[in-house]
Amino acid sequence: MKCVDLTIDSAHKQPMDQANFDLARARRETPGCENVLHFNNAGAALMPQPVVDAVVNHLQLEAAIGGYEAKNRELQAVEHVYDAAARLINCTPEEIAFIENATRAWDMAFYSIPFKPGDRILTAKCEYSSNYIAYLQMAQRTGAVVEAIPNDEHGQISVSALRNMIDERVKLISITHVPTQGGLVNPAVAVGAVARDAGILYLLDACQSVGQMPIDVKRIGCDILSTTGRKYLRGPRGTGFLYVRRDLIEQLEPPFLDLHAATWVANDRYEIRSDARRFENWEMYYAGKVGLGVAIDYASSWNVETTWRRIKKLADELRSRLVALGFVTIHDLGVERCGIVTFNVEGVSAVEVQRSLAALGINVTVSYEEGSRLDLGERQIPHLVRASVHYYNSEEEIERFCHAVTSISR
Ligand SMILES: Cc1ncc(COP(=O)(O)O)c(C=O)c1O
């Protein structure tokens, strides 16, 4: 990893890597910056030009010479995503599966786990709805039980509570690193230490964190990790990947198999492949696969440590500017907060805020209680506005954003 110069620049009182951050280049290489103020990076970030070029070029090649032929001609670019993803999260390419989104990646691993009656699944309060629905379905099918780990006083997973919940019936610890509905960053490394000490399987939904912050699966100690391409990695929609630890891959039989995941070796027998690609489909989005490889390289070229610091700085600034307006409530929890800023404006519904901002060319989303029922339900927040910043956003955009919020307040 590139060494980051953190010497303080005394003239500007900020770390050197931030002072030297080439924002002009980041924005120049992001064509969407000319059209919108995009604070919806946790929805789908604006793709940089090299990613757009890679996807479009591959599609054009498919149109020109045929889809199978384009894949064969560009095989190196198609295969590159495995190396790129492995380098990004510190694993081997054999431990990576390219899957069309984070949910399906997560599902392919989760539904491979053989649960039996009484097995306990421990999850986070802020768990994502799709994951929780899968726990409930699995519980109905197998008699396993799902339990939420209490939060600590900061609103993040209580690691001590988790430790106290461990017994021989806990089959899986499955948590969301960064929730869809807030700036919280759950203590994934500390959870990993508990899982490792107890020898329990650890599944991490890193959909909102990969690309946003440095992720090292060895340091975190997770056995399985899922993520998407379109969010903080700035890749194309319809892409994602799954990591499964080498020793675990062959113990997990995917819920679906096809002729890519397995080989029909005799009339009455098949053999499942031994790498993580057993969780993939045969047919896939090749242009997106090439694009995701380029997106990961692009993210790495900026140095994720550096962009992570910039994202946090922008988000902190946005939070404090919004609070200073006096009519905005910030909802983000946790000790460390990321680029997702969630809030409500007094007297204006979240949907109205979103609609009014959209009319001004500003993109945000709304999170609803049903997206993370345990969390927003308990906090009695039926909906909130989610503004999510990326490193290519500017301080000037934060200023414009706060003016816009002021203009729509009552
Ligand atoms: C925490 C979390 N997990 C999973 C997902 C699902 O990702 P995808 O839409 O790529 O399946 C999301 C999407 O917002 C999310 O926020």
pLDDT digits (tens, 9 = 90+) for 69-94: 999 999 999 999 999 999 999 999 99
Please, which pLDDT band fits residue 17 given cuts at 50, 70 and 90? low
User: Rounded mean pLDDT of 248-273?
Assistant: 98
Cα(379) to centroid(ligand 1), Å: 21
Provide the b/e sequence for 343-361 (b: ≥16 CB within 10 Å): bbbeebebeebbebbeeee
Among 99, 107, 129, 130, say which to mutate for ligand 1: greatest number of ligand atoms within 8 Å of CB: 130
Are the C-beta atoms of residues 349 and 385 closer than 8 Å to each other?
Answer: no
Among 208, 366, 367, say which to mutate for ligand 1: greatest number of ligand atoms within 8 Å of CB: 208
Percent residues over pLDDT 90 in the chain: 95
Are the C-beta atoms of residues 343 and 39 closer than 8 Å to each other?
Answer: no
pLDDT exceeds 60 at position 95: yes
3-state SS assignment for residue 191:
helix
pLDDT given at position 1? 30
pLDDT exceeds 60 at position 11: no
Q: What is the pLDDT of the chain when averaged over all its residues?
A: 95
Among 135, 157, 207, say which to mutate for ligand 1: greatest number of ligand atoms within 8 Å of CB: 207
pLDDT digits (tens, 9 = 90+) for 339-393: 999 999 999 999 999 999 999 999 999 999 999 999 999 999 999 999 999 999 9
Dig out the tokens for 113 from the structure.
């786990």
User: Rounded mean pLDDT of 311-316?
Assistant: 98
pLDDT exceeds 90 at position 14: no
Cα(225) to centroid(ligand 1), Å: 12
pLDDT exceeds 70 at position 8: no
pLDDT exceeds 70 at position 133: yes
Q: Is the CB–ligand 1 distance for residue 112 below 6 Å?
A: no
Q: How far apart are CA 141 and CA 115, in angstroms?
A: 9
User: Rounded mean pLDDT of 270-298?
Assistant: 98
Are the C-beta atoms of residues 234 and 228 closer than 8 Å to each other?
Answer: no
